[in-house]
Structure 1
Amino acid sequence: MIHRDLAAELERAAAWAPSITLTGPRQSGKTTLCRQVFSDHPYCSLEAPDDRAFAQEDPRAFLAQFPRGAVLDEVQRVPDLLSYLQGVIDADPAPGRWILSGSQNFALLESVSQSLAGRTAMHQLLPLSWDEIRRFPRCPNGLEQALFSGGYPHIFNRDLHPPDWLRSYAATYIERDVRTISNVGDLTTFQRFVELCAGRTGQLLNYASLADDCGVSQPTAKAWFSILEASFIAFHLPAFSIRQRPRLVKMPKLYFHDTGLACWLLGVREPDQLRSHPLRGPLFETWVVSEVLKHRIHRGARGGLSFYRDRNGAELDLVVEEPEGLTLIEAKSAVTPSSSLLAGIKRVGPRLQGLSPRCDAVVVYGGEDVQQRTHGRLIPWRLVRSAAPPQVEPLVQVLAEGRPVAGAEVIAGSPDGTRTSAKTDERGRATLRLDSGHLPLTVLVSRDGFEPHEEAAWIPDERAFHVQLTAQASGGS
């Protein structure tokens, strides 16, 4: 299994929180991540009938078998256990002992809020981000394949044809998971509802229209969509709101967390179908929005995402609000860069620039080139993470055989030709002075006695980028 970006956040939380609660969709990799990060903890899944029965019948004895804590998986299966865990934590609030995970947002959060308020650090693990997918030996080699495959880890761990796995996943979700979340009487109609939502990904979330098309009441449509959110199948993106601008649209937009699952529900069985599919644009928009969401959630951020639309038709796919300022993002599936891709930013940008000391504008598109235009940057889909990067200084750490290398020359260049350089200090660290407008970076590291190292398409984040140098062979120059 590849390294997950959320691992660092879990490690940080374990340094101060008595317990950590990890939620996310089924099969997003929660169990694997918990067992990797907390490999010294005992593991117990309450999905197993014997362990679940033990926890239900004698919760005190069940917890007593883990005097140093444990990873407890699928804890929403025994919600009453958390009340007893509260007492254990209060008696010994040592950090990082109890790791809880579950696949149902509502059931787990309700139990946690009642029993472990102030005692647990909450985190979510969504399907793989594009940056994580790229760490596999075999990953999608084109945009259509990326949209078609989605991000569920099993598909990449086992190199599966996505429809083969997604067929089973969708059936399990409808036939099993939905029953445990809510008493949905008519599963056939509910499945139709899920398919209708897939067909509306990237569009306004209109409950009345969904209810009419599905043949159910509007309250039922709302309740059923809450099930999709509770199980991390779909989510709603709120509309950007400014008190002094009442003419903004207030209705949220609907998005799927995973484009692969959306494609399966839409009947897409081969990636080439997406080249001319009528929902190619909304699916690409869904992919971009979900990528930005994953990147934020997997580094511990919450909120700050919305879309802009006013009653005059001016629209922007994504507004990212950070303390440092705004980032305006458009998603365009076109493969050819052109000024027309910036039309939305040209129209909306001036209306938002006065709201923040910094207002960056980015178009993520289906092509391959990075371009800096007057009104914003054009970024290829492969570099989606650079659309809204954290505002940090790029930090490079140079090592050789695990030890810091001082005095190494680190040179970084950006697509617009901007270059900067720095030498590593005694800790092997060099800080590069470039802002987010110069990403992604190509980094060259050199030091006498070592082979040079080059890294392309690097997007900095909160953690240092580690470079391992190899000593030159005897007689090398």
Structure 2
Amino acid sequence: MIERLAALKITQLARSFKSVAVTGPRQSGKTTLVRSLFPDKPYLSLENPDIRRFAIEDPRGFLARYEQGAIFDEVQRTPELFSYLQEILDDSSETGRFVLTGSNNFLLQQNISQTLAGRVAIINLLPFSTAEIFPDHQTPPDENLLMLKGHYPPIYDPGIPPEDWFPNYLRTYIDRDVRQIKNITDLIVFERFIRLLAGRTGQELNLTSLAVDTGVDTKTVQSWIGILESSFIIYLLRPHFKNFNKTLIKRPKIYFYDTGLVCSLLGITDEEQLALHPLRGSLFECLVVTELLKKRTNAGKPVNLYYWRDKTGHEVDVVVDNGLTLLPIEIKAGKTINGEFFKSLLYWNKLSGERKAYIIYAGNQEEERSNGVNVINWFEMVKRDI
């Protein structure tokens, strides 16, 4: 079993809060992790129709069986339980009593915010980070192979080929989760929408353009974006609004949580095809952004990532907002450092007065320039505290 970096934080939260909720996409390893961390707790999957029916029809009787606590998997399937859980948790000072998991962020957090606020700690568990897959690696792994395979646990254990696993994952997701969240009647159109979105990875979200290409209205596209975001398929990187007296772009950028899924949606099946694909740069950017995301979610930290772009075309791929300081990061898929890499960061530093910045790229040479810009390999970023 691959060791998960989030394990330490989940254990810590279970000692401080009455309940812990672990959310994340399907097949990200939530069940495996919580069962290994809490082996003494009874485990129940609320995907099971009989268990779910019992929990819905007789919630008090159901919970009475597990007074000492339990793991409730896919708990968003039974929102009726949350109010009764609140009552049980309020009557006890015991910590870590119930462990909840869910693969839909919106449904789970909506119910938690209404009934379990202050009683439950929430942590997102995303697919493997590169540091988890290669914990002792000194040299960078092949980024093309990694982007192609993605980071979902079943790709590595039991080792299902990506070309077999991703199409089935997508089909299962659409058939089960999409119908569960919202009753979409034309699933073929919805699947076409996801494929169109994959082709826009790393780009600004343009609802009107997507609506025209998909053949639906903008309200439908907005609703579908919400479905994909809440079920951890896509991540929207919001723009940073520090103005510097410039008119800024205010639309989010689209990233998928897993590059392997994007490759599958785009029909990319081998490394040679990926190396020559026009979207390779966007996929590499997606890889780096999701690695930055996982560093924060695994540590239980809030996500403080943004991007910055003004209407004159100046852009910084990622801005890490640390409260008092802003750390700009440029992401480049090339392996050779050249002067073009530095233009956006030097412009940003001139506007902001900041001195520290990073260029994260696919090459192995590291540089620390006198202008405050550090050039590092993407895998080195994974190991650093950025």
Aligned length: 384
Is 2:359 aligned against 1:363?
Answer: yes
Aligned to 2:221: 221
Provide the C-alpha distance between the structure 2 equivalents of 1:246 and 1:186, rounded to a whole number of angstroms.
Answer: 43
Aligned to 2:143: 143
1:196 Cα deviation after fit: 0.7
Higher helix content, 1 or 2: 2
Aligned to 1:182: 182
The answer (yes or no) to whether the contact 1:259–1:287 under 8 Å persists in 2 is yes
Provide the C-alpha distance between the structure 2 equivalents of 1:251 and 1:218, rounded to a whole number of angstroms.
Answer: 15
Aligned to 1:76: 76
Correspondence 1:12-161 to 2 at 5 A: 12-135=12-135, 141-161=141-161
1:243 Cα deviation after fit: 5.3
- Helix, strand or coil at the partner of 1:318: strand
Provide the C-alpha distance between the structure 1 equivalents of 2:136 and 2:53, rounded to a whole number of angstroms.
Answer: 38
- Deviations along 1:222-265, one digit per CA (max 9) or x if unpaired, are 00100100110001111111256351111111111110001100
Most deviating of 172-181 and 337-346: 337-346
Kindly, what percent of the aligned residue pairs are identical?
A: 44
Cα 1:74–1:136 shift into 2, 3 Å: farther
Query: Out of 374, 380, 383, which is 1:383 matched to?
Result: 380
The AA in structure 2 aligned to 1:174 is I
Please say which structure displays the higher CA radius of gyration: 1
Aligned to 1:331: 331
1:336 Cα deviation after fit: 1.5
- Deviations along 1:316-358, one digit per CA (max 9) or x if unpaired, are 100001146222111100011233322221222222235xxxx
1:360 Cα deviation after fit: 2.3
Provide the C-alpha distance between the structure 2 equivalents of 1:251 and 1:323, rounded to a whole number of angstroms.
Answer: 22
1:136 Cα deviation after fit: 9.1
The answer (yes or no) to whether the contact 1:307–1:319 under 8 Å persists in 2 is yes
Most deviating of 114-123 and 189-198: 114-123
The answer (yes or no) to whether the contact 2:131–2:383 under 8 Å persists in 1 is no
- Deviations along 1:88-142, one digit per CA (max 9) or x if unpaired, are 11111311111100101111111111221121111101111111121499x9941
Q: Which runs of 5+ in 1 are unaligned?
A: 391-477
Higher strand content, 1 or 2: 1
Provide the C-alpha distance between the structure 1 equivalents of 2:84 and 2:253, rounded to a whole number of angstroms.
Answer: 40
- TM-score by structure 1 length? 0.78
1:13 Cα deviation after fit: 0.8
1:200 Cα deviation after fit: 0.4
The AA in structure 1 aligned to 2:255 is Y
1:152 Cα deviation after fit: 0.3
Provide the C-alpha distance between the structure 1 equivalents of 2:177 and 2:252, rounded to a whole number of angstroms.
Answer: 26
The answer (yes or no) to whether the contact 2:244–2:351 under 8 Å persists in 1 is no
1:5 Cα deviation after fit: 1.1
Most deviating of 251-260 and 41-50: 41-50
- TM-score by structure 2 length? 0.95
The AA in structure 1 aligned to 2:153 is P
- Deviations along 1:360-381, one digit per CA (max 9) or x if unpaired, are 2111111122222234111112
The answer (yes or no) to whether the contact 2:305–2:318 under 8 Å persists in 1 is yes
- Helix, strand or coil at the partner of 1:307: strand
The AA in structure 2 aligned to 1:105 is N
The answer (yes or no) to whether the contact 1:2–1:136 under 8 Å persists in 2 is no
- Helix, strand or coil at the partner of 1:204: coil
Most deviating of 157-166 and 206-215: 157-166
Provide the C-alpha distance between the structure 1 equivalents of 2:350 and 2:251, rounded to a whole number of angstroms.
Answer: 23
- Helix, strand or coil at the partner of 1:203: coil
Aligned to 1:349: 349
The answer (yes or no) to whether the contact 1:368–1:382 under 8 Å persists in 2 is no
Aligned to 1:272: 272
The answer (yes or no) to whether the contact 1:6–1:299 under 8 Å persists in 2 is yes
- Helix, strand or coil at the partner of 2:335: coil
Provide the C-alpha distance between the structure 1 equivalents of 2:189 and 2:25, rounded to a whole number of angstroms.
Answer: 22
Aligned to 1:436: none
Is 2:380 aligned against 1:374?
Answer: no
The answer (yes or no) to whether the contact 2:178–2:227 under 8 Å persists in 1 is yes
Aligned to 1:429: none
The AA in structure 2 aligned to 1:361 is A
The structure with higher relative contact order (CA 8 Å, sep 6+) is 2
Provide the C-alpha distance between the structure 2 equivalents of 1:280 and 1:323, rounded to a whole number of angstroms.
Answer: 33
State the 4+ residue runs in structure 1 displaced beyond 3 angstroms.
243-246
The answer (yes or no) to whether the contact 1:136–1:156 under 8 Å persists in 2 is no
Provide the C-alpha distance between the structure 2 equivalents of 1:149 and 1:245, rounded to a whole number of angstroms.
Answer: 43
Cα 1:197–1:46 shift into 2, 3 Å: same
Provide the C-alpha distance between the structure 2 equivalents of 1:161 and 1:195, rounded to a whole number of angstroms.
Answer: 20
Aligned to 2:302: 302
Most deviating of 193-202 and 127-136: 127-136
Aligned to 1:317: 317
- Helix, strand or coil at the partner of 2:337: coil
Provide the C-alpha distance between the structure 2 equivalents of 1:384 and 1:268, rounded to a whole number of angstroms.
Answer: 26
- Deviations along 1:415-453, one digit per CA (max 9) or x if unpaired, are xxxxxxxxxxxxxxxxxxxxxxxxxxxxxxxxxxxxxxx
Aligned to 1:397: none
Q: Which runs of 5+ in 2 are unaligned?
A: none
Is 2:256 aligned against 1:256?
Answer: yes
The AA in structure 1 aligned to 2:176 is R
